[in-house]
Structure 1
Amino acid sequence: MNLLFIADPLESFKTYKDSTFAMMREAQRRGHAIAACEPQDLLWQRGSAVTAHVRDITLTGQEQAWFSERGQRAVALQDFDAVLMRKDPPFDAEYFYATHLLEQAERDGARVFNKPGALRDHPEKLAIMEFPQFIGPTLVTRDAEDIKRFHAEHQDIILKPLDGMGGMGIFRVGPDGLNLGSITETLNRHGAQSLMVQKFLPEIVDGDKRVLVIGGRPVPYCLARIPQGSEVRGNLAAGGKGVARPLTARDREIGEALGPVLQARGLLLVGLDVIGDCLTEINVTSPTCFQEIHDQTGCDVAALFVDALEAA
C-alpha cells in the first residue's frame, strides 16, 4: 500500500516512544511505501481534489537520522491507499479545518483513518458522557454555582478544561473547598467557557490506564500512567511513570463494549483512559503508548494496528 501520515514535523519525533514512528516502521517492514506531511501542507483549489505537498521517506533504522527523504511532490489524497491523520492535539481551529479538508478528500475517494467526521464528533473529554454506565460522577458546565453544588455533594473533585491535553490545567479541590472559586474563574474564564468536573477517583494512585482499542478490539495490555510524588496527574507529559499491565476484567468490559460502537463510526484506533473501574476520556486524535507496551510486554501493538489497517 501507499500510505500518507499527516503528523507533526518528522524532525520533532522522539522515535524511542513515538507511536506514529512505530506504525511507520511496521508498515515499511511489510513493504508499504510511506509519505508524510503536516496539516499545513494540505490544499484544496476550486475544481480540484484535495492535495498535499508530501515527503516520500524511507526509515533508515538509525537512532538520529531515522529517515531519509526520497523526494517531495504534490499528490491528491485519493491517490493513496490510506491516509492516517496522526497530528497531535490541541484540537484547535486549524485542526478543525483540516478535518473538513480531509472530509472533502473522502468525497474525492480517499480513505482516511481515523475518519475526519468522527474526529470532530468525539471531543476527547465530552465523548465519555455518551456512556454513563462506565463513568464516575461527572458534570460539564460553565456555571460556578453548579460547580459549587457538585463539590458540596462529592467533596473531593477534579476540574479540567475541555480542550486540555497532557494533563494541562487539571486541578483537585478537596473537602475544604480551598481555592474552588479562583480555580473555577480561571478555567471557565468568568463564565465564558465550559469545563468538566468529576468526582476524584482515589484509584489514580494505581495509575491512569491507557487501554488501546484497534479495529474494535481492546489490546490485551494497557499502560498505567502512575503519578509521581505529590502529583495528582498520571499523564506521561506531567511526569507520570508508565507501567504496562494486562487488562483487568473491567478494562476489557469497557473496551469490548465501546470498541464496536466506535469502530462503526470510523474510529480505527482509540485510546480509552480508565482510572480504577471508571472511563475518564476517549482519545481519538493521536492515541499513543504503542512502544511502551511493546517494550515491556512484547505485545506488538504496531503490528496489530497495521493488521487492522490492511483489513480496513
Structure 2
Amino acid sequence: MTTRIGLVGAGFIAGRHLDALTAIEGVRVAGVADPRADRAEVLAARAGAAAYAHWQDLLDVERLDALYVCVPPHAHGEAESAAIERGLPLFVEKPLATDLPTAEALADRIDGAGLLTSVGYHWRYLDTLETARELLAEAPARMVLGAWLDKAPRVDWWARQDGSGGQTVEQATHLFDVARVLVGEVEGGWATGSRSAQGPGDILDVCTAALRFSSGAVGSFSNSCLLPRAQRIGVELVAPGLGLWLTEHQLVVTDADGERTVHRGVDPFAAEDRAFVAAVRGEGDDVRTSYREALRTHRLAVAVATAAAGGGTVQL
C-alpha cells in the first residue's frame, strides 16, 4: 500500500526531505504547498506531485497519510493545527516556532489527540552520535563547548527577529539538542549577545551562553552569523580521559590511544524520514524526537535567546 505524504513548504529543507522520501519504497509525495507558486511547482515536479499555493488546498484535495511542515519559524502553527484536527501524523521541521507559547499550545493539542509526531533534529540519527553516547557511558562529560560560527542564510525571513527568532533559536538549537542527548538537562545559566552595523537584519549577530547541567557538567555555547562561510559548527565534549568533537559529518575521538576520526555512515535526513514513515505504517518505533521532546530543546533555545537579548539569567 502506498504511503501518501504532503509537504508544506518548498524551500531547501523541504527538498532534502522530498529526496529522502521518494527514495523509500512505497512512498509517494502527493502534493507540495507553498505561497510562492514557482517554488511549489519546481519542487513538486521533482516527485511528480501536484503543486498548491496554500496548505489548505493541499489538505482539502489530497488524501494523505502524513503531513510534513517545513516552513520558516514564524509560519508555524496553522498547518500543524489543521493536521491535528484531521488526525494526520505530523513531521515538523525545527525550530517549532519563533516563540515558546505557540509551541507549548501545539504540544498540548498534540498530546490530547495522541498524534504521532516527529521533529527534524536530524543529528539524533547520526551513527557518530551513538558512538559518542557509548563512549560517554563509561566517562560522563564534565564540559561541553558548542559552536555555530557561520554565515547568514540568504532568505529574507532569517535576519528578522520576528521571522526566525534569531540564530540561537533557528540554528544553535541543534547544539542544545545534542547537548541534552549527551550531557543531560540544563538547570540554568547566563547569556549575552549583541548586534552590530555589520550584522544582518535586527537579530543578534553574536551570542554566547554559560550553562550548568543537572549532572554537574558545565557548558559554553556561542553562535555568530558574521562570517563569509561556515567555520566551526559542532559540539566538543570533555570527560575524564576522553575528548570528543562531533559535527554533522564526523566524530573526532581523543583518548589514551591517541586521536582518531570516525566519519558518519548514514545520512541522518534519510534515517529520520525512514523512521517516521515506518512509524506511520505501524512498522517501526524509532522516532527519536517527538513534538513534546523537541519542545524541551526549544524551551532551552528560547530561554538562552531571551537571556542574551537582555544580558541576563537563563530562566527555565
Smaller-chain TM-score bracket? 0.3 to 0.5
TM-score by length of 2: 0.37
TM-score by length of 1: 0.38
